[in-house]
């Protein structure tokens, strides 16, 4: 777990959007979605692209229709557009969450703690205004919900999110 978090920290520091990434985004999102996506911090954009690419590979190998799931993967962290978490913020929150076994959640009146724990719900609320269907919003809302086990698409998104 520790080495994985160190690797994530380094990815976060070196997150850059390449020409290949731009072409990928343009092939998967419409113009309004691209505008919304670009409101994310660069490192969050890169994370979402990596999640989507991994998800697409898995979907191809399992012969799952991935069109909507890739959009979910690209937009799953959109709830972070209003409050940015720096690499230091995110690192501290991950450590505090681990040490407190999630008890810091009760301090969600602090914006950064709130977005850390509730960006799925915030993202679903943002995307609801754009007319996404309930299933799409459900996947965004629950991409960190560990209580839901029996949903293959959600599990794929969670797996790829955790991997990246």
Nearest in space to 50 (alpha carbons), one of 154, 155, 146, 157: 157
| Average pLDDT of the chain to the nearest whole number | 91
- Residue 126 has a CB neighbour count (10 Å cut-off) of 20
Of the listed ranges 43-47, 80-84, 85-89, 126-130, the least confidently predicted one is 85-89
Say yes or no to pLDDT of 5 above 70: no
* Model confidence band, residue 163 (pLDDT cutoffs 50, 70, 90): confident
- pLDDT of 8: 65
């Amino acid at each position: 777990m520790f080495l994985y978090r160190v690797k994530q920290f380094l990815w976060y520091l070196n997150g850059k959007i390449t020409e290949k990434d731009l072409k990928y985004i343009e092939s998967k999102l419409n113009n309004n979605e691209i505008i919304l996506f670009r409101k994310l911090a660069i490192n969050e954009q890169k994370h979402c692209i990596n999640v989507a690419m991994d998800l697409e590979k898995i979907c191809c190998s399992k012969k799952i229709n991935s069109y909507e799931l890739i959009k979910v993967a690209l937009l799953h962290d959109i709830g972070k557009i209003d409050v940015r978490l720096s690499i230091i913020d995110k690192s501290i929150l991950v450590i505090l969450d681990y040490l407190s076994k999630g008890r810091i959640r009760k301090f969600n009146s602090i914006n950064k703690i709130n977005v850390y724990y509730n960006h799925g719900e915030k993202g679903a609320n943002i995307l609801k205004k754009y007319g996404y269907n309930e299933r799409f919003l459900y996947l965004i809302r629950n991409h960190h919900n560990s209580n839901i086990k029996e949903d293959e698409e959600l599990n794929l998104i969670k797996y790829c999110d955790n991997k990246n």
